[in-house]
Amino acid sequence: MSHRSTRKAKSIITQSAELALAVPCVVVHRATRMAQAGPRPSARDLKEFNLMVAEKGAAFVQSWQGMAMQTMLAHQAMAASLIRSFWSVSPRAKVSPAKIAAQLQGAALAILGKGLAPVHRKATANARRLGRRKRR
């Protein structure tokens, strides 16, 4: 695994761990708020509940768009690499299976990172925001 791939993998692991800690905090806060609001939520509660629904949709769309774009870029890079290898006269320019595997691994990490980033960003921001409000 290259240094760059290792750094990407650590970043994804870190983001996943932060997400695993942030999500339960947000869920507990919002579930408690829904239970306390009862059948007649306040305007502030309604605003939070609407935000909750809207941000999930937005994060989902951003994740899929990022992953789709990164997948397209990865396909282009792989195709260009293989075409260069086929057209090259030098045996040194041929793409080795190890190089292909490393390129695939890097592409997979990049795609995963693009999908995780919007969800991580929103969940950790919500955990901070709702945590601050709770202390007041």
Residue 135's pLDDT is 47
Identify the pLDDT of residue 18: 95
Q: Are 107 and 99 in contact (CB under 8 A)?
A: no
Number of domains in the chain: 1
- Choose among 73, 68, 51: nearest CA to 122: 51
pLDDT by 10-residue block (mean), the chain, 136 residues = 73 94 94 93 93 93 97 94 78 75 92 95 93 62
Range of the domain at 74: 3-135
Q: Report the pLDDT value the prediction gives residue 9, as an integer from 0 to 100.
A: 82
What pLDDT was estimated at residue 131? 87
